[in-house]
Amino acid sequence: MEPVVIQCAVTGSADPRPPIPSTPEAIVQSALEAWRAGASVLHLHAREPDGTPTQDPAWFEPVVAGLRDAGCDAVLNLSTGTAGGRAVRDERLAVLRLRPELASFDCGTINFGERIFEGDLPFLRRMAAAFREHGVVPEVECFDTGHVGTALQLVEEGVLDPPLLVQLVVGVPGTGVPATIAQVEHLRRLLPPEWPWLVAAAGAAQLPLNTYCLIAGGHVRTGLEDNLRYAKGVPATNRALVERVVRLAGELGRPVATPARARELLGLPSRG
Ligand code: ZN
């Protein structure tokens, strides 16, 4: 079976609270633990020292530097989100100038918590151009059917280059999108079969959908951004969540990709 790329979403942009690593130092530490446990992709948001989410590249820089200084060779996947509503549209893209290998590309507008997460077509085209300009590969995040359709449209327009790496996001409060296998399979059926895909599932749906991805040939995203509990009443850590996926992969016969293998599987240039 094809190796599985395990991605750890280390911190997210929710308000700081345990067990989320919420200082730049804690984010680096927790990301290193996830990498050592088997994560080959680290999805990162930035926070100020008091834990406030921020999209300011100045706060991504110490995290990236801390990981590289520690010898971490994982693929770094930086967020181009709103930092909990603090960054608007093009402000979200400043982080691309750090030239990460991978960054999130939210492919449309959706309700998100109590807010509206904006992604109109003119902005998506500007975002795609910025990714190209900085040589960053997009991880196209699709929260619902229309986002998949929009991704296909942007490929058709020549704005995004196939094959796309697609992350299907389900169960986020406010979106109204159920975190079910039926929903994921509906979205998957719309994608060309050769495109790599993974699922981000919120809360208690993370474990069953991680397992589904291992069985169905997808890649896996875990981490505290999506889920704070290892089990009911038991707080999670990024390391424990990654270790569990590694164990499940072993039981199900999926080898775990190293960062070098992950780059091949995701269509990223190898790292010199
Ligand atoms: Zn994120």
Find the CATH number of the domain harbouring 102.
3.20.20.70
Q: CA-CA distances (angstroms) from residue 257 to 69, 81, 249, 254?
A: 22, 27, 11, 9
Q: Which domain holds residue 36?
A: 6-266
Triad 237, 249, 7: Cα angle to 5°: 50
Decide if pLDDT at 272 tops 80. no
- Arithmetic mean of pLDDT, 205-217: 98
Could you tell me the distance, in angstroms and rounded to a whole number, from the CA of residue 225 to the centre of ligand 1? 7
Q: For the ranges 52-56, 260-264, 266-270, which has the lowest average pLDDT?
A: 266-270
Compute the distance between CA of residue 13 and CA of residue 27 in angstroms, rounded to an integer.
12
In the chain, which ranges are continuous DSSP H helix? Answer: 24-37, 57-69, 121-134, 145-156, 181-189, 206-216, 238-252, 259-266
165 in the Ramachandran plot: left (φ > 0), alpha (ψ -120 to 50) or beta?
A: beta
Could you tell me the distance, in angstroms and rounded to a whole number, from the CA of residue 10 to the centre of ligand 1? 8
- pLDDT score, position 61: 98
Could you tell me the distance, in angstroms and rounded to a whole number, from the CA of residue 75 to the centre of ligand 1? 15
- Residue 38: strand, helix, or coil: coil
Compute the distance between CA of residue 240 and CA of residue 235 in angstroms, rounded to an integer.
10
Q: What is the pTM of this model?
A: 0.98
Kindly state the percentage of the chain with pLDDT values over 90: 98
- pLDDT score, position 1: 86
In a domain, 1, yes or no: no
- Arithmetic mean of pLDDT, 112-128: 96
In a domain, 272, yes or no: no
Please return the burial class of 1, using the count of CB atoms within 10 Å of its CB with bins 0-12, 13-18 and 19+: exposed
Compute the distance between CA of residue 15 and CA of residue 236 in angstroms, rounded to an integer.
17
Decide if pLDDT at 245 tops 80. yes
Count, residues in the chain: 272
Decide if pLDDT at 184 tops 90. yes
In a domain, 126, yes or no: yes
Decide if pLDDT at 65 tops 70. yes
Compute the distance between CA of residue 180 and CA of residue 178 in angstroms, rounded to an integer.
6
Could you tell me the distance, in angstroms and rounded to a whole number, from the CA of residue 6 to the centre of ligand 1? 15
- Arithmetic mean of pLDDT, 60-84: 98
Could you tell me the distance, in angstroms and rounded to a whole number, from the CA of residue 254 to the centre of ligand 1? 25
Could you tell me the distance, in angstroms and rounded to a whole number, from the CA of residue 247 to the centre of ligand 1? 24
- Arithmetic mean of pLDDT, 242-261: 98
- Arithmetic mean of pLDDT, 186-209: 98
Decide if pLDDT at 129 tops 80. yes
In a domain, 271, yes or no: no
Compute the distance between CA of residue 222 and CA of residue 241 in angstroms, rounded to an integer.
6
Compute the distance between CA of residue 140 and CA of residue 104 in angstroms, rounded to an integer.
6
Question: Does residue 224 contact residue 19 with C-beta atoms inside 8 Å?
Answer: yes
- pLDDT score, position 216: 97
pLDDT band at 154 (very low <50, low <70, confident <90, very high): very high
pLDDT band at 145 (very low <50, low <70, confident <90, very high): very high
Mean confidence (pLDDT) of the chain: 97
Nearest 10 degrees: Cα torsion 93, 21, 140, 200? -160
- pLDDT score, position 270: 87
If one counts the domains in the chain, the total is: 1
Could you tell me the distance, in angstroms and rounded to a whole number, from the CA of residue 12 to the centre of ligand 1? 5
- Arithmetic mean of pLDDT, 61-65: 98
Decide if pLDDT at 17 tops 80. yes
Compute the distance between CA of residue 178 and CA of residue 171 in angstroms, rounded to an integer.
5
Could you tell me the distance, in angstroms and rounded to a whole number, from the CA of residue 170 to the centre of ligand 1? 13
Tokens 């995040």 belong to 141
Could you tell me the distance, in angstroms and rounded to a whole number, from the CA of residue 95 to the centre of ligand 1? 13
